[in-house]
Amino acid sequence: MSGKLITFEGGDGAGKTTQVALLSATLRAKGVNVLVTREPGGTEIGERIRDLILHDPVTLVTAAELLLIFAARAQHIVEVIRPALARDKWVLCDRFTDATFAYQGGGRGVPAERVTQLESIVHHGLQPDLTLLLDLPVTEGMARSVARGKGEDRFESQDVAFKERIRATYLARQASAAHRIRLVDASAQIEVVQAQIKKLVLQVLEP
Ligand code: TMP
C-alpha cells in the first residue's frame, strides 16, 4: 500500500477535527498506518508559529502572516509529511495549502498567484491525493464555535464578510479542482458527515 495525503478543509466550526479523529480510527481498524497532523503546526517550530499566528496579540502584517504560514509548512513537509509518505503512511492533515488560498487569499486579499508562487517553492510538487472540503453556512459555523466555548483566535474573531469570502474561495477552488477536492455537507449530524467522508475516501483511494 502506498502513502496518501488526505487534507481536511472548511470554515471554522465545520467539525474537521472530530471528523479527522473518526476517520483515523476507521482506517486504523482496517490496518492502515495513519498519521494525524495539522496546520499551522505539526512540528515543534510549526506549533510555535501557530501560537504566534493564532493567539499572539502582536499585529502581523498580511505578508508576515503569509510567510509564517509557509515557513511552518516547509518544516512540516520536510520533517513530517514526506517521511511519513515514504513509509507508506496515510497522512490525515487538518488543513493545508487550500486554507492559505481561502484565508490569506480570499479573506485577506492576497492574490492567488502570490500563494501559488510560495506553494511551488515550499511544496516541490507535493499535492494532496484527496481533499475533503467540509462546507457549511457561515452563520452555522460561527454558532458552533460559540457553543464550543473556547476563546476566539485571530481568524475566528473576524467579521461575517471575511468568513463569507473564505467560504466562497473554498467553493470556487473545489469547482476548479473537483477531481481532488470533494465537497462534504458538514451541516448534517456527525455520523452522517463521517459516512460521506468514509465513502469518498474508499471510493477515491481504493478504487
Ligand atoms: P483550526 O486548527 O481551528 O482550523 O485553526 C487554524 C486557523 O488558522 C483557522 O482559523 C484557519 C487559519 N489558517 C490560515 O489562515 N491559513 C492557513 O494556511 C492555515 C493552514 C490555517
31 Cα: distance to centroid of ligand 1 (angstroms):
30
How many other C-beta atoms are found inside a 10 Å radius of the C-beta of residue 154? 15
Residues 98 and 181 sit within 8 Å (Cβ to Cβ): yes
Neighbour order of strands in the sheet with 4-10 = 34-38, 90-94, 4-10, 130-135, 181-185
Query: Which pLDDT value is given to residue 207?
Result: 63
The Cα–Cα gap between 124 and 120 comes to 6
As a whole-number percent, the residues of the chain with pLDDT over 90 amount to 88
- 91 in helix, strand or coil? strand
Q: Is 138 left (phi over 0), alpha (psi -120 to 50) or beta?
A: alpha
pLDDT at 1 over 70: no
How many Å apart are CA 145 and CA 90, to the nearest integer? 28
Residue 135 backbone dihedrals phi, psi, to 5 degrees: -105, 135
Contact in structure between 3 and 87 (CB atoms under 8 Å): yes
**Ligand 1: centre distance to CA 99 (Å):** 7
pLDDT in tens, 5-55: 999 999 999 999 999 999 999 999 999 999 999 999 999 999 999 999 999
Q: Which three cell numbers stand for residue 62?
A: 498580511
What residues does ligand 1 touch, defined as CB less than 6 Å away? 12, 38-40, 54, 69, 94-95, 99-100, 103-104, 153, 155
Give the Å distance between the CA of 207 and the centre of ligand 1.
Answer: 31
CA dist 177 and 180 (Å) reads: 6
Name 48's bridge partners.
none
- Give me the domains of the chain, ranges plus CATH numbers: 4-205 (3.40.50.300)
Atom of ligand 1 nearest to the CA of 107: 15
What is the pLDDT averaged over residues 64-91?
A: 98
- Confidence at residue 148, expressed as pLDDT on a 0 to 100 scale: 83
What is the number of residues in the chain?
207
pLDDT in tens, 152-167: 888 888 899 999 999 9
Q: pLDDT, tens digit, for every residue of 96-108?
A: 999 999 999 999 9
DSSP assignment of 167-203 equals HHHHHHHHHHTTTTEEEEETTS-HHHHHHHHHHHHHH
> What mean pLDDT value characterizes the chain?
95
